[in-house]
Structure 1
């Protein structure tokens, strides 16, 4: 058996802290913080994957510090970009983790696994967390939402996988128990991979939100449960604290100037009307950069990990694994 990176009891302490973190984030979101419903579930999922780190990020970027202040608290661009990154991680990382848990039972090599996980993460992020859950807020049909979300989601996914891929492969090469979903080391590896993926993808999401190609952090007092716009009459009840007047808004339009309280422009990440102004060249350059990030992640995985390893196959049976000094 390989020597673990750290004692197993530390792993279970981490899982216990993760459970407490998820419980607190879920309780606070569903009782106190008026975040959009899709983002509430996104925060719960990401905290499940990142434990106390996710709780800290939530505390400083999303948790409403006092009643009626959520809109102002989440308005800074860096917090808007955090919201976009969390939304990305909730969809993409979930798809990757579910795919990794399933493909492990088929004994595929890691070199094949990682691209199936990439496809699953992209599909889950695009078709579920982006297009399905956000189409009402975007004022689009499902098909239109898929088309509008494709490029930003692809950029985000490339960056997320650029961080997750080498982390997963290197940790699983170090301890092959991490390739099997019934092992706690699998979940520890996925937790570490998600943390790295969030860090690596944040700059890309910051650029996307700044250039109004993705939404940022939101609030249900302005956008309604699940992201659907609230009627102006209902929003006016939150005068001074809301971004009202969004009824009938279509994609690319801003709220009425007469709307009560804050409008969409008051929260840079929620006004996506300027996305069309980003030139095709700039989009192409950033897309290329994310592909280079993904290529760098693959190189790290191949250089410091083993892409030929398979679940259930002893490492000494693999090419190059019978070298002197290799610890088993």
Structure 2
């Protein structure tokens, strides 16, 4: 269910990302002459970065016309893009997989970041660099691990330095649905994090390519085979490939005689002989084949001198000095430390997705590194997806609930659930309600009655019921973890006691009381005196129950007396003016009004506008005639 505007944006974003990824994958395998590892690098990065990944592919790597890939990818900035793509594809995949697992395990955010770093580095080094690049780099797998370690370490440090603060601040910001992998917002944060990581890692990757510490973009084209040789040969590659031997591989379809004029006679003869053996296949560009043949001798010389041991291996000899590499490594570590540790100054990184995942905080609410998980959950919005009932806009709360009699006991059934309740025409709130109404049903009994109230919990959290001001056995009083174990979701608990008092009282939740009562879990409890002569008689009777609501950005939050928690709607018996009840009476009639302070935020002075009235009882105690007063 889409519950916030950002959700609709993310649906559009991921639809575009999917379309962009399909295009890149199709074009890579159909048209672009590139190694498989780079094909998958661009596919994964486009999946993570959406249209930005597509833009990078088109600007830096997509062959503009057949045979031009080598020249097109030669600029250093494009080679840097290729190197960063390769880094991000492997590292981000490991990071995202780790983020899903750590969220499921309920690890705290600080440990989550460490696990993500280790997983990203391991996946990038052992899989994307050393394994997938093995056929191009030459040597054994563990030789490639050793050679790739330092550049991968530097690149990963910068990438995580960009991703870590983005993930920390966005996952633990106002909308902490971002901590839950099933939520779109989680994947949106991952996408933003990958973009930030790419941006921070790119400059370092440009330098690593320029200094021949990492490979950039490469080209693989079908080529006529010598006896016993492979039929494909990688071209281009890192900047050293463009500079040493591969600079001549423009891929243009110019006549073969043009490049051959620049060769020595013996080279030209060898090239011509080789070209004669490699006749163009049907449908291929003859000029292009001749061009590759004309450069074959030079290519072999360059590759041999470059690889040293294995023909075709894309091994490089860096010209970077040890102080340069050390300085870049130290800076990458400093950036990583800042990215990983700085968020702890503002966020409580000891919390996990299991603690606060899915919570949405109200606008203006101040949360810092000391805010505990319980406080965040209490202040969070009601998830609209939990609504199980939509009340009719004309429905009224506080209706009298008639009991059934079982062996002389008056039995009431209360069910707490999440409903959508109308407080004004066109204005609804997600409420916690008893018996699908706000306020909950009025319970009316007589002094001396034995009562049993069966409470069933259909809420997403535990609850209890407290009988405010009533003297009952301790086990029936209701405070959670004090006099009883909370009623967990799906459970039923029965409260049973004999009513010893009379007067006006109310019942309400006593588990997460600031949250649950502010969201509607309360109702009037009226006890008539056993002796009718003790009753305060009147021609008409009306009960006023007060409440405040906080409705912002389409969500309902429990109103609280703190920044970000102040209410913006006030209700009498669940309705705001002008949807409130009208009391109709005739001149000469006596009206009795019971005021119940069921609200949680503020003190509300109440009066009957236009005339004085007499206070006859307070907190369930009837005042003697001499103690009553006019207000």
Q: TM-score, normalised by structure 2?
A: 0.45
Which position in structure 2 is the counterpart of 1:130?
129
Which position in structure 2 is the counterpart of 1:296?
338
Which position in structure 2 is the counterpart of 1:253?
307
What pairs up with 1:76-225 in 2 under 5 angstroms? Answer: 76-174=75-173, 175-221=175-221
- State the alpha-carbon separation in 2 of the partners of residues 8 and 218 from structure 1: 39
> Can you list the C-alpha shifts for 1:98-128, whole angstroms capped at 9, x where unaligned?
0101111111100000000100000000000
- Out of 207-216 and 240-249, give the one that drifted further: 240-249
> Can you list the C-alpha shifts for 1:23-46, whole angstroms capped at 9, x where unaligned?
111111010111111000010000
- Kindly state the Cα deviation for residue 250 of structure 1 after the two structures are TM-superposed: 6.4
- State the alpha-carbon separation in 2 of the partners of residues 108 and 250 from structure 1: 51
- State the alpha-carbon separation in 2 of the partners of residues 132 and 204 from structure 1: 23
- Kindly state the Cα deviation for residue 230 of structure 1 after the two structures are TM-superposed: 5.8
The higher-RCO structure (CA 8 Å, 6+ apart) is 1
Aligned length: 307
Give structure 1 regions of 4+ aligned residues with deviation exceeding 6 angstroms: 231-234, 315-318
What pairs up with 1:44-63 in 2 under 5 angstroms? Answer: 44-63=43-62
Instruction: Tell whether 2:317 aligns with 1:274.
Output: yes
> Can you list the C-alpha shifts for 1:35-87, whole angstroms capped at 9, x where unaligned?
11100001000000000111011110001101110111001010000000000
Which position in structure 2 is the counterpart of 1:325?
563
- State the alpha-carbon separation in 2 of the partners of residues 34 and 212 from structure 1: 22
- Kindly state the Cα deviation for residue 220 of structure 1 after the two structures are TM-superposed: 1.3
Which position in structure 1 is the counterpart of 2:291?
240
- Kindly state the Cα deviation for residue 133 of structure 1 after the two structures are TM-superposed: 0.9
Whether the 8 Å contact between 2:16 and 2:51 is mirrored in structure 1 is yes
Whether the 8 Å contact between 1:37 and 1:220 is mirrored in structure 2 is no
Q: 1:30 to 1:146 in 2, by over 3 A?
A: same
Whether the 8 Å contact between 1:137 and 1:229 is mirrored in structure 2 is no
- Kindly state the Cα deviation for residue 248 of structure 1 after the two structures are TM-superposed: 11
- Kindly state the Cα deviation for residue 183 of structure 1 after the two structures are TM-superposed: 1.1
> Can you list the C-alpha shifts for 1:168-226, whole angstroms capped at 9, x where unaligned?
11110112211221111111010000000000000110110000000000111289xxx
Which position in structure 1 is the counterpart of 2:243?
none
Unaligned 5+ runs, structure 1:
256-263, 265-269
Q: 1:320 to 1:142 in 2, by over 3 A?
A: same
Q: 1:167 to 1:139 in 2, by over 3 A?
A: same
- State the alpha-carbon separation in 1 of the partners of residues 304 and 349 from structure 2: 47
Q: 1:309 to 1:209 in 2, by over 3 A?
A: same
Q: 1:282 to 1:49 in 2, by over 3 A?
A: same
The RMSD of aligned alpha carbons is 3.2
SS of match in other structure, 1:21: helix
SS of match in other structure, 1:182: coil
- Kindly state the Cα deviation for residue 300 of structure 1 after the two structures are TM-superposed: 3.5
- Out of 66-75 and 297-306, give the one that drifted further: 297-306
- State the alpha-carbon separation in 2 of the partners of residues 230 and 169 from structure 1: 41
More strand by share: 2
Q: 1:239 to 1:208 in 2, by over 3 A?
A: farther
Whether the 8 Å contact between 2:103 and 2:354 is mirrored in structure 1 is no
SS of match in other structure, 1:219: strand
SS of match in other structure, 2:351: coil
Which position in structure 1 is the counterpart of 2:328?
286
Which position in structure 2 is the counterpart of 1:23?
22
More helix by share: 1
- State the alpha-carbon separation in 2 of the partners of residues 285 and 325 from structure 1: 46
Instruction: Tell whether 2:49 aligns with 1:68.
Output: no
SS of match in other structure, 1:66: coil
